[in-house]
Amino acid sequence: MKKGIALITVLAFVLILSLLMVPLYVSVLGMTSTLRSIQVLPAKHEAFAAGLNVVRVLIVNAQDMKTSTTIELAQGPIVVTVSLARSLDSDLSLQGIDCGDTAEPVDKMRKCSAVNYWDVTVRFKDNYVLTGTAVQYVMFQPDKDYVYLLDFKEKRE
Residues forming contacts to other proteins in the complex (CB under 8 A) are 35, 38-43, 45-47, 49-51, 53-54, 56-57, 59-61, 69, 71, 73-75, 136-137, 139, 143, 145-147
76-89, strands of its sheet edge to edge: 66-73, 76-89, 114-124, 128-138, 146-156
Taking the least distance from each CB to other proteins, the nearer of 1 and 8 is: 1
Query: Closest approach of Cβ 85 to other proteins, in Å?
Result: 17
Query: Closest approach of Cβ 147 to other proteins, in Å?
Result: 4
Q: Is residue 48 within a helix (H) or strand (E), and if so which, with residue range? A: helix 7-60
Single-letter residue type at 154: E
Taking the least distance from each CB to other proteins, the nearer of 49 and 150 is: 49
Query: Closest approach of Cβ 140 to other proteins, in Å?
Result: 8
Indicate the SS3 state at residue 151. Answer: strand
Taking the least distance from each CB to other proteins, the nearer of 42 and 98 is: 42
Cα gap 122→154, rounded to integer Å = 9
Strands (E), 49-145: 66-73, 76-89, 114-124, 128-138
Query: Closest approach of Cβ 100 to other proteins, in Å?
Result: 25
Taking the least distance from each CB to other proteins, the nearer of 98 and 150 is: 150
CA 23 to the chain's CA centroid: 34
Taking the least distance from each CB to other proteins, the nearer of 13 and 148 is: 148
Query: Closest approach of Cβ 49 to other proteins, in Å?
Result: 6
Cα end-to-end span (Å), the chain: 64
